[in-house]
Structure 1
Amino acid sequence: MLLLLGGTLAQAQPAPTREPRRRSFTLTGSPLEARIGMGIRTYIVFAVSIRGKAVEVDPKRIRVVDTGEKSLIIEPLSEPRPGERWTLRVPLEDGKAPGVAEFSLVAHPSEVDTEIDVERPEESPTACPTCAPCAALSAADAIASGFIDSDGVGTRKFPSFTDAASGLQSRDGVTYRAKTWVLVDVEIITPPGHPAWRPTGATLTSKAGETRVRAVKVEPSKDDSRLVRVLVTTDVPPSSVGLELTLHLNGPEEAPSLSIPHVTLPPAKEPKP
């Protein structure tokens, strides 16, 4: 009787709760990893119009609750097993490449994505035929091209990091802070013998909150196939988020992601009198 009672109590233990997360992705053409949970709705907001009636997903696994001009709500009827990934494809209306936002749906033991923002990468402006670089360059293009250096913006270095599980490494990085944007500039090294690694999206968070990612710029090295430079442009975070954050880079399908801790931002500059 005691053994039976003990087994019953063990079975009655509630499932661990999952922390709801809001994440931002930039379309790159590779699948975007989204964390789902059975019975938990995920609200996906796109920067462009979508073809809601043409969404591709297994209806036996995922219920499409609602579609709007630029939004989609899904609710899993079950969950992927460990290591299993389900596919969600959302056709886009703007006629640009990629024409489909593809998601790789996975289960996570402690987190679930309840809201996802999907942006297109910032477009580089058309080059001026007779003049110097235009002021319309994005922050990532300006930093990568050397048009903006530490003069006029606050900068702060943060240390290298090695992920013991995946072997991915980040070199010492730099954060830039202007009045209206923040940029994280870091190089990632893939372990020897592993295929080239490229992030498909990013989030910048602290324990107190998250800052919205505007764009992710990826620059593979011309000299070393294991090396890639990543430039993540975000909004300026509210003061409540703090100055020490974690940069999470989403890996492509069936590849690991990388979370880089201790990404320190420069403090806001004091306004001039």
Structure 2
Amino acid sequence: MLLLLGAVARAQPAPSRAHRQRSITVTGYPTAPLPEVRGAKGIGITFHFDGLIREDSIKVDESRIRIVDVGRKSLLVEPVTEPRADQPSEVSVTFADGEQERAAFRIVPHPSEVDMWIEVMRQTEQPSAVCQARIDELRARCGAQSPTTFRRSGLLPNRGILARTFERYADTAGGLVSEGGASFRGGDWVLLDMEIRNVSGQPWAPRVATFKGKDGTLVTVRLVTAETEEIAPGESRRVWVETDDPHAGAGVFFTLEVSGADGRFLRVGNVELAPRMREGKQ
């Protein structure tokens, strides 16, 4: 009887999960938590994007996620193992138009639902006044005791520490030009100090930044601050970007993108980091 009951229990079908279609808005901010997508083994998930995507940029854990099909604006993936809450799989892709370049998602389990169609939209609205005030408050708090503070006060010189300079870089799509700058490297931080000229007819206020290696490695940005709140048309101001120290395999050449409150951004593609100090050296 016990053997019979055990066989019946094993023969019971797994509970069905409701198939869902929904939309997800991605912000493009590297520090924002990844949106969660509910998945299940053997059930395909279609992502439909609001812009063209780069097929060669798609990244998945191939031992857990299978790429079924890729379109100009779509991606179909299928979990080959059951998603785990403690070790969610990640799916990421890069937009081809350069707007909010990367979109990434975490595939997680759900007891009763599975997402089969995800409409992916990029955030176009600017942060509210309350949200922006909170960002400014956190920026000020983070900058109270940081390498940026020392650089602004003149206590972090160009000579006598590990530093590299990078040359002028013109990217006039947003009416902004980098007049060159310097990178500094500490034990666990990197500081970029550069001068940005506003060649457009509108003021520009730097707000956020992304810092990416040539291999696509994204580095956490701790702080973005400028000499003045805004850079007026025809003027230039110093802008400081403080980040975590990239891992050793990320190389020394990086691309920095600084975005303004109005959505315009400056992409600087020739940033060279200072080398790491060798152990035993002071």
Name the TM-score class by shorter chain: 0.5 to 0.7
Residue 49 of structure 1: aligned partner: none
Residue in structure 2 matching 1:210, options 218, 222, 228: 218
Residue 14 of structure 1: aligned partner: 71
Residue in structure 1 matching 2:151, options 143, 150, 160: 143
Residue 198 of structure 2: aligned partner: 190
| Distance in structure 2 (CA, Å) of the matches to 1:233 and 1:13 | 36
SS in 1 for 2:227: strand
| Distance in structure 2 (CA, Å) of the matches to 1:76 and 1:86 | 20
Residues 1:119 and 1:245: Cα distance change in structure 2 (over 3 Å): farther
Residue 124 of structure 2: aligned partner: 85
| Distance in structure 1 (CA, Å) of the matches to 2:243 and 2:194 | 14
2:198 touches 2:232 (CA, 8 Å); kept in 1?
A: no
| Distance in structure 2 (CA, Å) of the matches to 1:245 and 1:221 | 26
Deviation at 1:200, TM superposition (A): 1.4
The amino acid that maps onto 2:187 is K
Residues 1:34 and 1:90: Cα distance change in structure 2 (over 3 Å): farther
Gaps of at least 5 residues in structure 1 are: 1-11, 23-32, 44-74, 102-117, 126-136
| Distance in structure 2 (CA, Å) of the matches to 1:119 and 1:20 | 31
1:122 touches 1:138 (CA, 8 Å); kept in 2?
A: no
Residues 1:220 and 1:181: Cα distance change in structure 2 (over 3 Å): same
Per-residue CA deviations over 1:180-218 (Å, capped at 9, x if unaligned) read 2110001111115x1111221011111321211111111
1:210 touches 1:241 (CA, 8 Å); kept in 2?
A: no
The amino acid that maps onto 2:182 is V
Residue 250 of structure 1: aligned partner: 259
Residue in structure 1 matching 2:170, options 156, 162, 181: 162
| Distance in structure 1 (CA, Å) of the matches to 2:125 and 2:259 | 16
User: Which has the larger Rg?
Assistant: 2
Query: How many residues are matched?
Result: 183
| Distance in structure 1 (CA, Å) of the matches to 2:127 and 2:105 | 14
Residues 1:34 and 1:119: Cα distance change in structure 2 (over 3 Å): farther
Residue 201 of structure 1: aligned partner: 208
The amino acid that maps onto 1:227 is S
Residue 177 of structure 1: aligned partner: 185
SS in 1 for 2:206: coil
For CA contacts below 8 A with separation 6 or more, give which structure has more relative contact order.
1
* TM-score in terms of structure 1 length: 0.55
Residue 111 of structure 2: aligned partner: none
SS in 2 for 1:98: helix
* TM-score in terms of structure 2 length: 0.53
Higher helix share: 2
Q: Does 1:98 align with 2:170?
A: no
The amino acid that maps onto 1:216 is V
2:208 touches 2:259 (CA, 8 Å); kept in 1?
A: yes
Residue 3 of structure 1: aligned partner: none
Residues 1:264 and 1:246: Cα distance change in structure 2 (over 3 Å): same
2:202 touches 2:232 (CA, 8 Å); kept in 1?
A: no
Deviation at 1:13, TM superposition (A): 8.7
Gaps of at least 5 residues in structure 2 are: 1-68, 76-90, 108-116
Residues 1:16 and 1:258: Cα distance change in structure 2 (over 3 Å): same
Residue in structure 1 matching 2:139, options 111, 121, 130: 121
